[in-house]
A and B are shown apart, each in its own frame.
Chain A
Amino acid sequence: MSDSAGTAIEFVNVTYRTNGNRSLISGLNLVVRRGETLMLLGRSGSGKTTTLKLINRLLDQSQGQVLVDGRSTVEWDVIRLRRHIGYAIQEAGLFPHYTVMDNVALVPRLERWDAGRIAARVREVLQLVGLPYDQFAERYPDQLSGGQRQRVGLARALAADPQILLMDEPFGALDPITRAELQHEFMQLRKTLSKTVVFVTHDVAEALMLGDRIALMDAGTLKGMFAPAEFLRSTDDFVQPYVNAFRAGQQIFNSGD
């Protein structure tokens, strides 16, 4: 076992079966180091999102253990566990009846922060994701573009200053230009924040660009862990199709000019 001080999240022999007894995850062993950004890469149905949801107990494993900060998630109070972990998803899931301010402030309010601290924190995280407070705080989600909604979703996940951040294809539904913009900003943000991030994606380029390490998943099992450079060099049969797809994309791009 790895030393717990350097480990933020650990999966020990985890299996997850649906009520219909279908295995979505089987025998998963995985370590997420403190402060790293780990990309869960795989096709649709490979178990990436299920893995993510086992961390904040939106799903409960059928077998094995998931440890967060050295403690099994079943020993955590589930509400405390979730408030300890930021969560950002593809459709952002903003509350349509709340302003940007109220969306971002919700968890700090539930945690009974005082009003001054909440106001300062909302201002700070909105600034962090590139949305000036004075311009955006009073808007409703339907008055924002898709990219702006994702930024608010990220700000909301960061609001209570969690040490762990779970991101489920947060840029997946955006147009390519906005996506590139947000990916770039996320890279910058990652350096300043030093959070542990688990990031689900099916986009190879995104995984290579944003990740410290890439966990390749297929049919509910882990196929390997790679640093981005290792991933590109790998001759592994499971890795090849991804690398080929990535290079094909680059070639089209290079022959275009």
Chain B
Amino acid sequence: MNDPKLNKFLRQWRDVEPRGNFDDNVLRRIRQAEAIPVRNSWFDWLRQPALATIAAVVIGLMAGTIGGLQSAPRQTSELEFMAPTTLTGAYLTMRTK
């Protein structure tokens, strides 16, 4: 829509001027941001003692849980009592015959 009347009218909304200390504020903000150390990786987070302790505890708990699960005796089948060599199994065999 090319509406010269509207376009001309819209131009009556005047500009504002940037504040006088604009450039200084930008440079100050950049220096402030550069002064804050940037953490680049997860390993940097682990350098903090509290986080390192929490991470060690979590890893220890996970290792313990996995180890415990692997060393536990394997669960036998729930229907093992119905095998032919058991009392129930013998009874079932007898019934079917």
Q: Do A and B come from one complex?
A: no
- Using a CB–CB distance below 8 Å, which chain A residues touch chain B? none
